[in-house]
Amino acid sequence: GGFLTIPRNSDAPKAFNWIQKIAVTESKNGIPLIFGHDVIHGYKTIFPIPLGQAASWNPATVEQGARIAAQEATSAGIRWTFAPMVDIGRDPRWGRVAETLGEDVFLASTLGASMVKGFRGDDLSSPDSLAACAKHFAGYGAAEGGRDYNVANIPMGQLYDHHLPPFKAAIDAGAVSVMTSYSELNGVPGTADYHLMTDVLREQWEFTGFVVSDWNSVMEMVMHGFVEGDKDAAELSTNAGLDFEMHSTALGDNLQQLIAEGKVSQERIDSAVRRLLRVKFAMGLFETPYSSEKEEFLKDEYLQVAKQAALESFVLLKNENSVLPLNKKQKVAIIGPLAEVPYQQLGTWIYEGEAKDSRTLLPALESYLGSQRSNIRYAEGLPYSRSKDRAGFKKAIRAAKKSDVIVFFGGEEAVLTGEGHSRGDISLPGAQQELIDELAKLNKPIVLVLLSGRPNTLEGVVDKVDGLIMAWHPGTMAGPALVDIIYGEESPSGKLPITWPKSSGQLPIYYNHKATGRPPTDDNYTRIQAIDPATTWQHAPGNSSNLLDYGHRPEFPFGFGLTYSSFEYSDLELEQQKLAVGDTLGVSIQIKNSGNRQATEIVQLYVRDLIGNVTRPVKELKAFQRLSLSPGETRTVEFK
């Protein structure tokens, strides 16, 4: 089958070739191995985390980043990546939301397909083609309570509407493998789900690639309580449609006996082997089993693409009194635990990314400001994001007092997101809010730049800051990209790929929810602070689908993002007012840059089926288009 992960700090290409030579020249049939690795958002040149890339709403940028990741990884001997992750991420408590492409099925499908195309390149048999693996099949993003590995209970209609389409899009784009989920779906662990692996993948979608388990997930079915031991796990997972077991050895240890007992058919084994061989032939491994051993990392052109990806991922969420962009003459206090963090800026799942390769904020500021770099004062305030040590507060406040504006770099270290790293309280960790409270007492403009793998709730914070940028974990080129955005060399263009809650108590919250029989409005219920305990009648607060303490609106909605300019929408036109089944509707609208700066708008088209025998969401994204306009320029955008 394959070989997973050469230890770090080894000479990977030589090691891979040494192992491959054994497989090709010493094994019975001389079948080459496929070498796999987690190449999630870059190999050596690290791009923004996938959730950050999704904020670009730019399929071309996502594809280009995946192509560079493939070129670097294949130069090290790797030909198979466990990406893209196309699980729908609706719950930011879940640590792996950082790996998702957001909460929307259309956006995730579009960008997931782009990532597959980038990994694959023009020809799967090319030495720089990286075979893609769509994961985790299926419903992993709906894990209960946002707790990793937890159960998922998804009605069949919702499964087909929201969770399966991104996998189909990835397969149609050229993914040759699919990874099963750790979680169980409606009582059945993903690694033994016959409906998913056989009915859906093989019969409905006619998928000809292979299915691989997630790490040890075959044996974890014992802990689920689905099987008694490894023999039963091997039988059920193989008969359900699993072709390739990752890490554990239940299949290798038990299949020969299971075949002899008639519990697993020879044809099922032949089918699994056939699928894997088909992929290996398509990858050209029989003709070219060895790598060139010429590693090519961190090229200048790679770094420039990584910087552009970071620029497009940043989302401007607040900009009161046009506090941004800054100008070089302003005295600026750079404060916060995530201002100068060469490793943390890379984000989760970066096995080969190294801090020494990061371009960080302070050197980028010095380079940009030149002779005016003395206008920058830096004090971290807190040594790391979770710290509650207030010893650095005084130095931070002194720096702030001597400055015109405060830029606070907060959020979460990379380790707080990723696999197994779920949080119940997703507010700013440590004493960050306390430090912001102290800085706010100085009555100076504050810009909050968040580096995080998820939306962080900002109760008690958002009202104290004048500017707010969500930077995610931006990757290798975070520093230069942040400087360009903060000082206005580039205008922010990112839009949220996930709904931003006011509090963890609002979760789950997502834009494409159902109306319910009593949909909330801004005036059909009374907020908790306005309820008079002495005089309010039982039903006076209102009976609608809301939360008395947080209402029904999020902090920031899906698809939201500001820029340094402004746009006007006008003249919406529909080609026709009635549609027959199978008809295509043409929609056009005029967009004008009504500000005084070049800027990019992401025009989004949503639809709603108002009446149906199965209820539909209040709105669903069906198309989007990036549009760069000069000041005063007007352009017509058309959708079909």
Q: Report cis status (omega within 30 of 0) of the bond before 339.
A: no
**Could you tell me the two tokens for 623?**
């198309």
Closest to 130 (Cα-Cα) out of 181, 182, 191, 65 = 65
- Cα separation, 333 vs 403, in Å, equals 6
Please, which residues bridge with residue 176 across strands? none
φ, ψ of residue 77 in degrees (nearest 5):
100, 0
Q: Which of 193, 214, 230, 466 is catalytic?
A: 214
* Helix or strand run (H / E) with residue 308: helix 300-313
- Cα separation, 585 vs 118, in Å, equals 31
Q: CA neighbours within 13 Å on the CB side: how many for 609? A: 10
CA 98 distance to own-chain centroid = 5
- Cα separation, 416 vs 345, in Å, equals 12
* Helix or strand run (H / E) with residue 307: helix 300-313
- Cα separation, 335 vs 600, in Å, equals 29
* Catalytic (active site) residue 214: yes
Closest to 74 (Cα-Cα) out of 121, 24, 107 = 121
Closest to 470 (Cα-Cα) out of 41, 56, 68 = 56
DSSP state of 439: H
Please answer whether residues 94 and 146 qualify as being in contact, where contact means their C-beta atoms are separated by less than 8 angstroms: yes
Please answer whether residues 472 and 48 qualify as being in contact, where contact means their C-beta atoms are separated by less than 8 angstroms: yes
Please answer whether residues 209 and 172 qualify as being in contact, where contact means their C-beta atoms are separated by less than 8 angstroms: no
Complete DSSP assignment for 253-272: HHHHHHHHTTSS-HHHHHHH
- Cα separation, 588 vs 583, in Å, equals 17
* DSSP SS3 for 627: strand
Please answer whether residues 88 and 166 qualify as being in contact, where contact means their C-beta atoms are separated by less than 8 angstroms: yes
Contacts of 516 (CB under 8 A, 6+ apart): 545
* Vertex 631: Cα angle to 625 and 633 (nearest 5): 60
Closest to 541 (Cα-Cα) out of 526, 530, 554, 553 = 526
Closest to 328 (Cα-Cα) out of 492, 490, 483, 468 = 483
What's 23-51 look like in SS3?
A: HHHHCCCCCCCEEEECCCCECCCECCCHH
Complete DSSP assignment for 180-248: E-SSEETTEEGGG-HIIIIIIIIIIS---SEEE--TTTTTHHHHHTS-SSHHHHHHHHHHHT--B--S-
* Helix or strand run (H / E) with residue 624: strand 620-629
Active-site positions read 214
